[in-house]
């Protein structure tokens, strides 16, 4: 209501201004004609006229009325150079700030709400460099004064900064125009006041602060390197530390563009994903699914049977799968691709030197133009009293430790309700362990919407897992051979006995012991990098889990491209890493896959959205497969088919998501998905059907009424 009142008042004042023909005074001729009269009044009451002029100037600029230039000339003519400049400088800055505030108050929320996600980059830029841009805009008088006020009101620039930068930036222009006003009689047209030469000088002055900033950045980076001795030549173009997803892709790209690259891996090529993460966990999930299907074979008209199996063989298969995939990441393959692979522990000695303690003995020092840190992450082990005493496994150790067992642990505690905890809890539950899953938060998979967490919990519970949410692990205890974990829930302590405990409460970046401390490279849970993945030292980059913000194999690979290209060609062209469309999946059954916003994100970020949902229970193929559960949920911009985010819960959700990832990446809306032929009968049809749901909800009802009438008329 207040906003409408402001708009109406501003509108009425503007209409009044034109209705009373006041604009005649704001032309060069009109002002010249009435100047004599104003001068007489000023002579009689200099302070009164000065204040009145000041007020008129403030109102005119606050209302974005045309004529600021004329008023500025008038200030010169009436009050002379110094007083005129003071009056105009303050009046114009105050008026500009009022217009800026009005625009911010009336329009900003609406604009940010509507285009918030797309304005993010601009907002971030403005938050970082807003004052510099504003200074440039103010200094170069070719940018319309009123437009700058209105547009800047929509950005996050702070009001006080806006005021003083405006005043400072406009000072040069104000001086020129007020000075021109002191020779008003000689001015024939406004165009002549500022010559092209003067405009160019202003423009140069405007870009100067930006150039100065760039210069400061270069200076700063030189200062960072000051205490190090740069080698005259380099042994390598690039040394990559870590042979996981990030390191492998980085060195692959470097070799592909013929750089001399060395990849250093201390342990196993392929890193966490191949050896302890994605690959073994997915292999185990498959065995557990088969066991589950056998148990529920009656769903397919077959006799249900309790799966008979050797756990040793299941774990052996996990290791076979790792071994089968391993050649993709092997030393042999990468050597063949042109990468020098050294097996050893790398330490960054100075910004251009890496020392490698080779696994088979000896050390080697390599100088290099650039370094990419791809050292990954390790499981976080919470500081629980008694934990070491009872013993535990993590994703790093479980594959070898459990491979020694004849049967799955009879009673398994899984600490953590995130994706890794859920995947492993379900797998071991299906393989026969009595699993208790302990999560401190009120629900598992907390990053997903509540309904997704609920579905996941239901599914895990159906598999016999005791999912304890809002339960805080306090300590572990041992009594003889009996091991317990003590948890707290609603003020009550509970003791849970177990045979094995799996810690899956998150993963922390590897930050110590390879030179970051020595070089003073800042870390904040991960290695601190800028948008180009540069660390404090612009020739040292970081990618993958060690740098975050996501911890997935595909994001590690994605970042690797930027790290490699920027490290090798950054002096010519640098690329900002793009996290605008990042998908992920949790491979429980039913699978949960997501890209972009879900409802809880959208609410948190105050982004308006519409939800369209399609239930997979209705899908022909899912019915035939006996997997008719879950949904596809799409968030779109209200009234538009532009996709903000998608969550899929169901069989092969991770695969189904790919279509939406592509659509979001390339700006394709639901109409385009609806207009695409999807093979029948496939699960992928769910994507088309959700688009169909959206279309139905947005059918033009009024047009349809008329079409009904048209057809009735045609029938006669």
Ligand X SMILES: Cc1cc2nc3c(=O)[nH]c(=O)nc-3n(C[C@H](O)[C@H](O)[C@H](O)COP(=O)(O)OP(=O)(O)OC[C@H]3O[C@@H](n4cnc5c(N)ncnc54)[C@H](O)[C@@H]3O)c2cc1C
Residues in touch with ligand X (CB under 6 A)? 241-247, 264-267, 271-273, 276-278, 281, 345-346, 374-377, 395, 420, 510, 514, 544-546, 551-554, 556, 587
- Give the Cα separation of 464 and 445 in Å (integer): 18
- For 30, residues 6+ apart whose C-beta sits below 8 A from its C-beta are 23, 24
Nearest approach, Cβ of 586 to ligand X (angstroms)? 8
> Which residue lies nearer to ligand X by CB, 468 or 543?
543
Structure tokens at 369: 């133009």
> Which residue lies nearer to ligand X by CB, 75 or 501?
501
Residue 520: which region, alpha, beta or left (left: phi > 0; alpha: psi -120 to 50)?
left
Nearest approach, Cβ of 371 to ligand X (angstroms)? 11
Structure tokens at 713: 């008329």
Cα distances (angstroms) measured from residue 415 to each of 20, 199, 432, 468, 496: 76, 67, 18, 10, 12
- Give the Cα separation of 396 and 408 in Å (integer): 17
> Which residue lies nearer to ligand X by CB, 346 or 644?
346
Q: State the DSSP string of 693-713.
A: HHHHHT--HHHHHHHHHHHHH
Nearest approach, Cβ of 267 to ligand X (angstroms)? 4
Nearest approach, Cβ of 406 to ligand X (angstroms)? 23
Nearest approach, Cβ of 667 to ligand X (angstroms)? 25
Nearest approach, Cβ of 560 to ligand X (angstroms)? 8
> Which residue lies nearer to ligand X by CB, 40 or 518?
518
Nearest approach, Cβ of 584 to ligand X (angstroms)? 7
Give the helix/strand (H/E) hosting 548. none
Handedness of CA 213, 215, 216, 218 (dihedral sign): positive
Report the DSSP beta bridge partners of residue 592. 586, 649
Report the DSSP beta bridge partners of residue 477. 484
> Which residue lies nearer to ligand X by CB, 347 or 687?
347
- Give the Cα separation of 63 and 56 in Å (integer): 11
Nearest approach, Cβ of 568 to ligand X (angstroms)? 19
> Which residue lies nearer to ligand X by CB, 657 or 674?
657
- Give the Cα separation of 251 and 184 in Å (integer): 69
> Which residue lies nearer to ligand X by CB, 93 or 275?
275
> Which residue lies nearer to ligand X by CB, 489 or 554?
554
> Which residue lies nearer to ligand X by CB, 117 or 439?
439
Q: What is the 3-state secondary structure (H, E, C) of 57-115?
A: HHHHHHCCCCCHHHHHHHHHHHHHHHHHHHHHHHHHHHHHHHHHHHHHHHHHHHHHHHH
How do beta strands 583-586 and 591-596 pair? antiparallel
Structure tokens at 225: 């390197």
Nearest one of 585, 593, 591, 594 to 456, comparing CA atoms: 591
- Give the Cα separation of 677 and 420 in Å (integer): 36
**Residue 270 CB neighbours (<10 A):** 25
- Give the Cα separation of 49 and 47 in Å (integer): 6
- Give the Cα separation of 546 and 378 in Å (integer): 9
> Which residue lies nearer to ligand X by CB, 31 or 560?
560
Nearest approach, Cβ of 332 to ligand X (angstroms)? 17
> Which residue lies nearer to ligand X by CB, 272 or 641?
272
Cα distances (angstroms) measured from residue 461 to each of 64, 299, 407, 502: 64, 19, 22, 18
**Residue 518 CB neighbours (<10 A):** 11
Taking every pair of Cα atoms in the chain, the longest distance, rounded to a whole number of angstroms, is: 109
Nearest approach, Cβ of 273 to ligand X (angstroms)? 4
Nearest approach, Cβ of 13 to ligand X (angstroms)? 59
Nearest approach, Cβ of 272 to ligand X (angstroms)? 4
Nearest approach, Cβ of 650 to ligand X (angstroms)? 17
Task: Please state at what angle helix 46-62 crosses helix 68-103, rounded to 10 degrees.
Answer: 50
- Give the Cα separation of 165 and 298 in Å (integer): 75
* Residues 430 and 412: beta-carbon distance below 8 Å: no
* Residues 429 and 465: beta-carbon distance below 8 Å: yes
Structure tokens at 306: 């309790």
How do beta strands 540-542 and 363-373 pair? parallel
Nearest approach, Cβ of 372 to ligand X (angstroms)? 10
Nearest approach, Cβ of 688 to ligand X (angstroms)? 26
DSSP secondary structure letter of residue 534: B
Nearest approach, Cβ of 526 to ligand X (angstroms)? 10
Structure tokens at 190: 């406004």
> Which residue lies nearer to ligand X by CB, 169 or 277?
277
φ/ψ of residue 249, rounded to 5: -65, -40
Nearest approach, Cβ of 367 to ligand X (angstroms)? 17
> Which residue lies nearer to ligand X by CB, 84 or 244?
244
b (16+ CB within 10 A) / e for 349-369? bbbbbbbbeeeeeeeeebbbb
* Residues 466 and 436: beta-carbon distance below 8 Å: yes
Q: State the DSSP string of 557-579.
A: HHHHHHHHHHHHHTTT-------
Cα distances (angstroms) measured from residue 559 to each of 5, 368, 576, 686: 50, 20, 10, 31
Nearest approach, Cβ of 514 to ligand X (angstroms)? 4
């Amino acid at each position: 209501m207040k906003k409408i009142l402001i708009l109406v008042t501003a509108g009425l004042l503007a209409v009044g201004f034109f209705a009373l023909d006041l604009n005649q005074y704001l032309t060069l001729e009109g002002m010249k004609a009435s100047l004599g009269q104003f001068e007489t009044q000023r002579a009689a009451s200099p302070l009164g006229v000065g204040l009145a002029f000041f007020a008129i100037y403030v109102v005119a600029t606050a209302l974005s009325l045309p004529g600021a230039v004329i008023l500025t000339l008038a200030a010169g003519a009436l009050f002379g150079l110094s007083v005129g400049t003071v009056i105009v400088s303050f009046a114009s800055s105050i008026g500009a700030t009022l217009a800026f505030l009005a625009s911010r108050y009336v329009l900003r929320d609406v604009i940010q709400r509507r285009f918030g996600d797309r304005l993010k980059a601009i907002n971030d830029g403005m938050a970082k460099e807003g004052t510099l841009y504003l200074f440039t805009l103010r200094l170069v008088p070719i940018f319309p004064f009123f437009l700058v006020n209105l547009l800047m009101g929509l950005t996050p620039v702070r009001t006080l900064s806006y005021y003083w930068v405006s005043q400072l930036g406009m000072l040069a222009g104000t001086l020129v125009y007020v000075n021109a006003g002191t020779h008003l009689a000689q001015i024939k047209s406004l165009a002549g006041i500022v010559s092209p030469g003067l405009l160019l000088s202003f423009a140069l002055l405007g870009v100067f602060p930006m150039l100065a900033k760039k210069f400061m950045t270069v200076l700063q980076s030189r200062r960072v390197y000051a205490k190090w001795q740069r080698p005259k030549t380099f042994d390598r173009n690039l040394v990559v530390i870590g042979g996981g997803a990030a390191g492998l892709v980085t060195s692959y790209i470097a070799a592909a563009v013929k750089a001399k690259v060395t990849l250093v891996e201390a342990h196993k090529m392929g890193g966490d994903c191949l050896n302890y993460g994605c690959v073994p966990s997915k292999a185990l999930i498959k065995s557990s699914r088969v066991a589950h299907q056998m148990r529920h074979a009656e769903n397919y008209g077959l006799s249900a049977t309790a799966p008979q199996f050797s756990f040793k063989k299941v774990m052996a298969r996990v290791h076979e799968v790792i071994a089968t995939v391993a050649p993709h990441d092997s030393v042999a393959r990468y050597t063949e691709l042109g990468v020098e692979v050294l097996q050893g522990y790398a330490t960054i000695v100075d910004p251009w030197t890496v020392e490698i303690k080779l696994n088979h003995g000896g050390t080697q020092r390599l100088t290099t133009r650039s370094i990419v840190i791809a050292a990954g992450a390790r499981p976080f082990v919470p500081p629980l009293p008694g934990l070491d005493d009872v013993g535990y496994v993590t994703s790093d150790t479980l594959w070898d430790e459990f491979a020694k067992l004849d049967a799955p642990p009879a009673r398994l505690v899984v600490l953590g309700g995130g994706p890794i905890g859920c995947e492993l809890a379900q797998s071991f539950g299906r393989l026969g362990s009595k699993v208790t899953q302990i999560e401190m938060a009120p629900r598992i998979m907390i990053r997903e919407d509540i309904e997704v967490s609920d579905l996941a919990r239901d599914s895990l519970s159906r598999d016999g897992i005791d999912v304890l949410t809002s339960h805080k692990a306090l300590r572990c205890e041992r009594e003889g051979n009996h091991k317990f974990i003590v948890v707290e829930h609603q003020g009550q302590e509970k003791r849970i006995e177990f045979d094995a405990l799996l810690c899956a409460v998150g993963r922390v970046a590897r930050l110590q012991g390879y030179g970051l401390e020595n070089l003073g490279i800042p870390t904040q849970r991960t290695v601190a990098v800028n948008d180009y993945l540069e660390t404090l030292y612009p020739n040292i980059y970081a990618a993958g889990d060690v740098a975050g913000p996501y911890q997935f194999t595909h994001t590690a690979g994605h970042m690797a491209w930027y790290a490699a290209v920027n490290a090798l060609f950054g002096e010519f062209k640098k690329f900002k890493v793009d996290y605008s469309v990042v998908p992920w999946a949790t491979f429980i059954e039913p699978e949960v896959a997501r890209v972009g916003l879900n409802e809880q994100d959208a609410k948190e970020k105050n982004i308006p959205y519409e939800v369209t949902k399609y239930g997979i229970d209705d899908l022909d193929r899912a019915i035939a497969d006996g997997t008719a559960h879950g949904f596809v949920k799409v968030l779109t911009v209200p009234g538009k088919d532009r996709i903000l985010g998608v969550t899929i819960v169901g069989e092969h959700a991770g695969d189904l998501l790919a279509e939406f990832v592509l659509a979001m990446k390339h700006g394709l809306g639901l109409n385009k998905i609806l207009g695409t032929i999807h093979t029948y009968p496939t699960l992928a049809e769910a994507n088309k059907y959700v688009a169909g749901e959206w279309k139905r909800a947005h059918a033009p009802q009024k047009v349809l009424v008329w079409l009904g009438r048209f057809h009735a008329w045609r029938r006669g």
